[in-house]
Structure formats: C-alpha cells, structure tokens
C-alpha cells in the first residue's frame, strides 16, 4: 500500500506544488477577477452611521470596506445578550467562504465571532451593538484561496487519471482557526461544483480513527464524485505526546496527501520529518481575528450545543421527551479502564487494550445529569460487548433523575419511548438544564 501511495503522491507532486511561502496558483477570485498572486493593496474601511432607518429599533452602523479587507465583529455572550444582524448593502462579500446575498439580513446570536471578507470592496450594515467591530487588512485569505486553487488542480488531475481526489488534514494547537480553514476550503470547493467530505475527527482513539477511515474509503468506492472531491479532516488541538502520535496515525489511516499546519512551526517540522516524502506538509499563518477561548467559554459552548440538540436552534424549537427507564431494561458501559503501569498489565496486553475495554456500570445516583449515548449495537450482552466499540450511536439522552429504590431512572430524549436500543454508553460530559 505504501508503494502505491508513493507513486500516486509523487505524480501529484509533479503536477501541483503546494508551498506556504510563495503561492503560484492563479485563480479567479470569488466575487470578481484578479490574479491571486498580486500583492494585497487594502486600506482600512470607513465606519459611519447609516442614513437608513434602523431595523426594529436597533442601532445601525455602516462599514465601507476596501478590496481585500475584512470586517471582524463579535457578539456578546450570555443569555441577555442582544443579537446582531448583518446586511450586505453594495458590492460582494463572504463569510467563511459562503457568499452573502445583497439586501438580506443575517442574524448572529450571542457568542458569535464573524469575519466578513471582500475581494473587490463592499458596504455592509450592522444592526445591534456588537461587543467589538473593526476592519482589518491583515488577513491570510490570499494564501487560503491559493491553497483551494492548488487542491482544485489536484481534483482535476484525479478526474483525468481516474484516481481519488486530495485528502487534506488540518492540524494545529487550540484556537488557531482550524475549523474556519476547513469551512473555507469546503465552501470554495462546493462553489465550483465539488462534493468534498468533512471529517470531524477527535484523534484521541486510534482505533476509532481507523474505523472512520475505512467507512470513508468504502463511500469513495461507490461514489465517484465523493472520491474526486476528497475530504477535509478537522482535528483537535492535542499536538504533543500521544496526541502527536495520533495525528501521524490519522494521516496514515486516511492516506492523506496534504497536511495544513496552522501557526505552529515546530509541529510543521516534526510532521515533515515523520510523514512520508510524498505527503505535502504546508505551514499556513492563522488569521489575526482568531480569538482564544477560556475554559469557561468552552464549557458554555459545549452546553449550548447539547441544549440545541434537545431544544433546537433560535427560531426553530424542538420539544424533547421525558420518560422513565427501568434499570433492568438497559445495559450501561463505560469505554476505557483506569490506566495502570505496563508492568502490571497481563502478558500480551497493551495500554491500547485497556483504553477500549468495556467496563459495566451499575446505575446509581452519581449517574444523574450524565450524557449517555445509545449504541446501535445489536441487543444481547455477547454481541453488544463484541461490536459496541466499532458501532455508531443512534443518539444521545441525559439522565435527569435516578431512583434507586424503584430501580428507575428518568431521561431526557429527543425521541419518544421506547429507546431504539438498550445498550448505553456513559461519558464524562454532564448537562444540567438550568434555562
């Protein structure tokens, strides 16, 4: 397999040169023409009060952006925070690669961090009071666009040679904009008619990474457009020790062609050293608009995502179900046994075996507020234990109350009773619905 990948990778290398220093790919810019290799010539946008009547009594601020500049604004977090609306008045602009429609208002909720970029210049209006709003000409969008153009050339080469498209892995520490770069590359690819696959990957478990890579490869075998479109792999910010080894394993499992390293020169050099020579490793700068998130901010964002899963988004409410489940009707497991020294492990067993070991959990009051996943593994203790680690999940529930006397627990579920399966997996995440 390595030799085949080597020949394929070498061929692509001859056709496309991805470099982080001097982009050489010429392309038409989104929203207008121009050579992507041109130097950025931009000035600060002009902020002025709008002459138009504010919408719904909200204060309105208008920004006139020069070409290749970016309006960055943040919406205050918190329950009582006010939403902010964005409207494109003139010109053309995009948000994370998605083109904006003129004279249409886009609503952004509390905690949103948005960047509005324009290639040719535009005027936009903000309705409401953002926590911060400013215009910047210091943006790496030109490099990101050239990266997309190089990947598109690789897709065209794959079409001509009847091969698979590029598989790209985006890596870097926390808070460098990995998800934003993935979204940009995906949006640009879709806008030219491609069908790339986004792989949201937590590389903490190498076994799960291999399973996911196998599923994606099977999809590419039966879907030619998905194969040519390739994939964009978004990874977590764990880049040291075991996290780094997991990244290398991910690159091998998915047979990646390109690794984009954001704002981490040491990681870039380590991957250049440890990955095969035919894998293109590119160092890209992070955007100046990237905001570092505190632990409290991360916790609030996680809770908000869980709340959206059960109760829906703003303007689109869901109504979850609450019902009781008997202890005897379900089997609860935890994946991973406590870590112990290698010298204490049974002969022939490694730490990886303990990390994926199924540990039965006896229901008790400490189960309250835990998020449980409902495994799609076949019911039956033997079959569940055998396939549970590699099986997908049907969905998630939250334990809201446990009655040990009646041997019943009350759960919050997005679907009515009964549960589709009876094998549950406990995780460390807790959710207390205080709203």
pLDDT value at residue 349: 60
Return d(Cα 204, Cα 202) in angstroms, integer: 6
pLDDT value at residue 11: 40
Q: How do residues 228-243 score in pLDDT, each as one tens digit? A: 999 999 999 989 988 8
Contact assessment for residue 199 and residue 256, using Cβ atoms and an 8 Å cutoff: no
Q: How do residues 342-379 score in pLDDT, each as one tens digit? A: 666 666 666 555 667 788 999 999 999 999 999 998 87
- What are the structure tokens assigned to 182, written together? 């993935």
pTM of the model: 0.77
Return d(Cα 278, Cα 280) in angstroms, integer: 6
pLDDT value at residue 23: 37
In DSSP terms, which residues pair with 116 in a beta bridge?
71, 95
CB atoms near residue 101 (< 10 Å):
9
CATH class of 46-136: mainly beta
pLDDT value at residue 340: 62
Return d(Cα 163, Cα 7) in angstroms, integer: 12
pLDDT value at residue 81: 82
Backbone angles phi, psi at 258, to 5 degrees: -135, 135
pLDDT value at residue 14: 36
Question: Which residue ranges of the chain lie beneath pLDDT 70?
Answer: 1-57, 202-208, 314-315, 337-355, 380-386, 434-435
Contact assessment for residue 334 and residue 354, using Cβ atoms and an 8 Å cutoff: no
Nearest Cα neighbor of 400 from 340, 347, 324 is 324
Return d(Cα 12, Cα 6) in angstroms, integer: 10
Return d(Cα 150, Cα 16) in angstroms, integer: 6
What are the residue ranges spanned by the domains of the chain? 2-27+141-284, 46-136, 295-430
Report angle CA 255, 256, 261 to the nearest 5 degrees: 145
Per CATH, the homologous superfamily of domain 2-27+141-284 is: P-loop containing nucleotide triphosphate hydrolases (3.40.50.300)
- What are the structure tokens assigned to 90, written together? 């003139």
SS3 58: coil
Contact assessment for residue 167 and residue 257, using Cβ atoms and an 8 Å cutoff: yes
**Does domain 295-430 bear CATH number 3.90.180.10?**
no
Integer angstrom CA distances of residue 398 from 142, 324, 392, 425, 429: 45, 12, 18, 11, 10
| DSSP characters over 308-335 | HHHHEETTEE---EEEEEEGGG-EEEEE
SS3 153: helix
DSSP 77: P
Region of 296 (left: φ > 0; alpha: ψ -120 to 50; beta: rest) is alpha
Q: Is the peptide bond before 75 cis (omega within 30 degrees of 0)?
A: no
């Amino acid at each position: 397999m390595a030799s085949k990948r080597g020949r394929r990778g070498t061929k692509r290398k001859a056709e496309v040169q991805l470099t982080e220093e001097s982009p050489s790919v010429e392309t038409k810019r989104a929203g207008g023409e121009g050579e992507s290799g041109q130097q950025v010539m931009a000035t600060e946008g002009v902020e002025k009060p709008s002459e138009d009547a504010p919408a719904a009594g909200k204060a309105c601020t208008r920004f006139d952006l020069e070409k290749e500049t970016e309006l960055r604004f943040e919406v205050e977090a918190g329950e009582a925070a006010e939403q902010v609306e964005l409207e494109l008045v003139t010109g053309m602009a995009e948000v994370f690669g998605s083109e904006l429609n003129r004279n249409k208002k886009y609503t952004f909720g509390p905690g949103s961090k948005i960047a509005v970029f324009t290639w040719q210049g535009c005027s936009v209006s903000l309705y409401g009071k953002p926590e911060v709003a400013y215009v910047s000409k210091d943006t790496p969008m030109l490099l990101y666009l050239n990266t997309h153009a190089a990947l598109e050339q690789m897709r065209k080469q794959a079409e001509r040679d009847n091969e698979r498209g590029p598989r790209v892995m985006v890596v870097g520490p926390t808070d460098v904009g990995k998800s934003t770069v993935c979204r940009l590359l995906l949006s640009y690819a879709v806008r030219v008619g491609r069908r790339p696959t986004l792989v949201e990957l937590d590389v903490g478990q190498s076994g799960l990474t291999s399973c996911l890579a196998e599923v994606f490869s099977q999809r590419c075998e039966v879907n030619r457009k998905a194969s040519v479109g390739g994939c964009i792999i978004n990874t977590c910010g764990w880049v040291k020790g075991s996290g780094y080894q997991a990244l290398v394993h991910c690159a091998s499992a998915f047979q990646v062609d390109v690794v984009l390293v954001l704002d981490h020169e040491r990681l870039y050099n380590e991957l250049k050293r440890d990955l095969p020579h035919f894998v293109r490793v590119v160092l890209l700068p992070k955007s100046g608009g990237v905001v570092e998130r505190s632990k409290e901010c991360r916790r609030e964002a996680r809770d908000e995502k869980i709340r959206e899963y059960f109760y829906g988004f703003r303007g689109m409410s869901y109504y979850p179900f609450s019902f009781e489940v008997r202890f005897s009707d379900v089997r609860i497991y935890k994946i991973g046994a406590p870590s112990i020294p290698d010298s204490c492990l049974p002969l022939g067993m490694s730490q990886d075996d303990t990390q994926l070991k199924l540990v039965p959990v006896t229901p008790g009051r400490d189960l309250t507020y835990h998020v449980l996943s409902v495994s799609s593994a076949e019911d039956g203790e033997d079959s569940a234990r055998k396939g549970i680690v590699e099986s997908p999940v049907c969905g998630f529930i939250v334990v809201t109350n446990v009655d040990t006397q009646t041997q019943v627990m009350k759960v919050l579920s997005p679907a009515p009773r009964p549960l589709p399966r009876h094998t549950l997996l406990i995780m460390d995440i807790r959710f207390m619905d205080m709203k």
